[in-house]
Amino acid sequence: MATQKLKSLAYIGTFGISAFITGTYFERKFSPQHNLKNPQDSPIFSTVFAATAVSPVPSETNVGRISQIMKYGFPGLDNVRSFDNFVLSYDKRNRVAHWVFEHITPECCKPNDQVDRALSEFTPDESIHPFFRSLNSDYYKSGYDRGHLAAAGNHRVTQKMVNQTFLLSNMAPQVGVGFNRDSWNRLERYVRRLTRTFKNVYCCTGPLYLPRKEANGKNYVKYEVIGANHVAVPTHFFKVVVCETKDGQFEMESYVMPNQVISDDTPLTSFMVPPETIERAAGLLFFDNIARSKFSKINHKKN
């Protein structure tokens, strides 16, 4: 009896370890270092493993910039990838990011003759395993836009930075007219404009899949999936923004907008929700490294 139990334990153990090794092998096999077509446009370092010591960081990285962007904490640690000017956590199950994180400064947003958005192409992210990678064909004729999570307009420093925002790992299916091209864009422009007042703006953006009460009175999470890879269509999107004031205080604003046609005259303030609501719904913690007492304002109200 005891031996039997030991045997099955050993079996489970072996299976677990070999599965782990296989997983690691595939992650490494498909990590950018092993799959370089265009090194300039690829992420700097591959998946972050929270509990394993693998993949030493290549020497010529912008580690300084990344720690600057993530200075106030990671919202989560699932499949983190860093690019020249933003950081992304990828949801392999939904084929859409969990979150993207940006540190937006006046320099990032100002017009730049050296950069042309029209030269950028929507590109599959080769650093994602093909099982979990979204493709242009998934979006084709779906009726949805390939909507940026990290907005192209926040990364006008170099052409390479803008190009990286066009990776499909940074896209989510968004309603085009009335949402992505209108009210969501209005929110993105508003966040950019905050850099006129605040020199340091931190912005976390991501999808939500929110439950809805159906006729039988029970709550269900229901969302469409598109294309052969079943890319999830989020029901909502969130943006959590933190502005650093000159006197070392912070102001936070957090928004949730439904992925649907929104009237242009709807004020952005009507989409403000408490940050805790988003944290619970998304399973993330925002700006964990800032003591809540340091926020002078949350959603325009004194804290």
- State in angstroms the smallest separation of the CB of 145 from DNA: 4
CA Rg value for the chain: 21
Exposure string of 110-142, with b = 16+ CB inside 10 Å and e = fewer, is: eeeeebeeeebeebbbbbbbeebbbbeebbeeb
Residue 129 interacting with DNA (CB under 7 A): no
H or E element, residue 22 = helix 2-29
- State in angstroms the smallest separation of the CB of 174 from DNA: 7
Q: Which of 141, 213, 218, 301 binds DNA (CB under 7 A)?
A: 141
Q: Which of 39, 64, 111, 267 binds DNA (CB under 7 A)?
A: 111
How remote is the C-alpha of 159 from its chain's centroid? 20
Print the binding letters for residues 165-194 with DNA: x by CB under 7 A, - otherwise: -----------x---xx---x--xx-----
State which residue, 88 or 151, has the beta carbon closest to DNA. Answer: 151
The stretch near DNA (CB under 7 A) out of 64-72, 149-157, 199-207, 263-271 is 149-157
Residue 122 interacting with DNA (CB under 7 A): yes
Angle at 281 between CA 214 and CA 192, to 5 degrees: 120
Q: Which of 98, 103, 129, 148 is catalytic?
A: 148
Residue 152 interacting with DNA (CB under 7 A): yes
Interface size with DNA, residues (CB under 7 A):
21
> Distance (Å, rounded) from C-alpha 18 to C-alpha 133?
24
Residue 180 marked ligand-binding = yes
Residue 147 interacting with DNA (CB under 7 A): yes
- State in angstroms the smallest separation of the CB of 41 from DNA: 17
Exposure string of 20-49, with b = 16+ CB inside 10 Å and e = fewer, is: eeeeeeebeebbbbeeeeeeebbbbbbbbe
Q: How far is CA 91 from CA 96, 98, 128, 282, in A?
A: 6, 5, 10, 12
The stretch near DNA (CB under 7 A) out of 35-43, 143-151, 200-208, 273-281 is 143-151
Q: Sign of dihedral through CA atoms 267, 219, 214, 218?
A: negative
Pairing of the two strands 250-258 and 295-298? parallel
Residue 84 interacting with DNA (CB under 7 A): no
- State in angstroms the smallest separation of the CB of 100 from DNA: 12
Is residue 148 annotated as a catalytic residue, yes or no? yes
Pairing of the two strands 236-244 and 250-258? antiparallel
State which residue, 34 or 230, has the beta carbon closest to DNA. Answer: 230
Residues that bind DNA (CB under 7 A): 111, 117, 122, 139-143, 145-148, 151-153, 176, 180-181, 185, 188-189
Query: Which residues does the annotation mark as catalytic?
Result: 148
